[in-house]
Chains A and B, each alone.
Chain A
Amino acid sequence: MRERPLSPHLSVYRFQYTMALSILHRISGVWMSIGLVALVYWLASAAAGESEYGLASARLGSWWCRVLLLSWLAAWCYHFANGLRHLAWDAGFGLERLQARRSARIVVVVAALGLLLAAYLLFCPRAGGA
């Protein structure tokens, strides 16, 4: 079969930070898809009974699971904020270049604040549990 032209050729474009935000939306989304396993594991352990739940919450509360949970919460903060941006675009708002760049900066700030809040809740001693 004849070779067909392919698109998009991302490498021909000059890098802009909005491109990084775009691919980060996919990365954070796929990462949270893996996190679904943890959510279902948590629910299933609660359904299995008290001793299983105790084991699961001890596992989820371990430091390396807290790091994972933090990564999923941070991914959610970013994906949530940037997702609202995408929904606004789909509705026809904020498509001008200046508007899109301004909303990109807002998304980064919101996600950073969310990351800090999640880190505080997961790692401060009073939070308790996972």
Chain B
Amino acid sequence: MSLRSPLAVVLGRGAAGEGVGHWWAQRVSALCLVPLTLWFLVALMRLPLTDYAAVSIWIASGWNPLWLALLLLSLVWHSRAGVQVVIEDYVHAPAAKLVALLANSGAHLLLLAAGLYALLQLLLRNSS
């Protein structure tokens, strides 16, 4: 006999009260990060990193800002999901867990906003 209500079974929600969305988000962002991180690291290797003009032009040229935005988005998404699972596994006190989870989401949101804002500034300055 199952203790789960028929509705819970249909919705596919586990003990956490949510479905498999978190699991999928982690896998999908992982798949996105396979080509994106490879592309970014190869690009960094080829760039003269101390040359400001070269770097700022590269960031804003062609499809690069799009790939960089997607890289930031997938990195933050994947990183937040990963740290969240670690917190849920190792922080047991309910209050501390809530605070840690909120801090995790807040820090990642802040990083994403700052990264995208910087990208936008570079794009507007170098695309004219």
Which A residues lie at the B interface, using CB under 8 A? 26, 29-30, 32-33, 36-37, 39-40, 43-44, 46-47, 50, 53-54, 57, 61, 73, 76, 80, 83-84, 86-87, 90, 121, 128-130
Q: Tell me if B52 and A54 are in contact (CB < 8 A).
A: yes
A32 and B19 CA atoms in complex are apart in Å by 27
Answer yes or no: B12 CB below 8 A from chain A CBs. no
Q: Tell me if B59 and A46 are in contact (CB < 8 A).
A: yes
Q: Tell me if A128 and B82 are in contact (CB < 8 A).
A: no
A39 and B121 CA atoms in complex are apart in Å by 16
**Known A37-B111, A46-B55; contact A57-B117, beta-carbon cutoff 8 A:** no
Q: Which of A29, A44, A46, A76 has the most CB of B within 10 A?
A: A46
Q: Tell me if B49 and A57 are in contact (CB < 8 A).
A: yes
**Known A40-B115, A46-B122; contact A129-B82, beta-carbon cutoff 8 A:** no
Judged by DSSP, the binding face of B is: helix
Task: Note all chain B residues with C-beta closer than 8 A to A37.
Answer: 111
Task: Note all chain A residues with C-beta closer than 8 A to B115.
Answer: 39-40, 43-44
A54 and B55 CA atoms in complex are apart in Å by 11
Query: What residue of chain B has the Cβ atom nearest to residue A118's Cβ?
Result: B41
Considering only residues 75-128 of chain B, those with a C-beta below 8 Å from chain A are 75-76, 79, 82-83, 86, 108, 111, 114-115, 117-119, 121-122, 125
Pick 26 A–B contacts, CB within 8 A, sort by A: A26-B86, A29-B86, A36-B75, A36-B76, A36-B79, A37-B111, A39-B75, A39-B115, A43-B68, A43-B114, A44-B114, A46-B52, A46-B56, A47-B122, A47-B125, A50-B53, A53-B52, A54-B50, A61-B50, A73-B41, A80-B37, A83-B30, A87-B27, A87-B30, A90-B27, A128-B48
A80 and B55 CA atoms in complex are apart in Å by 26
A126 and B85 CA atoms in complex are apart in Å by 41
Q: Tell me if A47 and B76 are in contact (CB < 8 A).
A: no
Count of chain B residues near A, Cβ 8 A: 32
**Known A26-B86, A83-B30, A90-B27; contact A43-B118, beta-carbon cutoff 8 A:** yes
Answer yes or no: B34 CB below 8 A from chain A CBs. yes
User: Can you list, as one digit per residue, whether each of B25-56 has a CB less than 8 Å from chain A (1) or not (0)?
Assistant: 00100110010010001000100111011011
Q: Tell me if A76 and B48 are in contact (CB < 8 A).
A: no
**Known A80-B37, A84-B34; contact A40-B118, beta-carbon cutoff 8 A:** yes
Task: Note all chain A residues with C-beta closer than 8 A to B117.
Answer: 44, 47
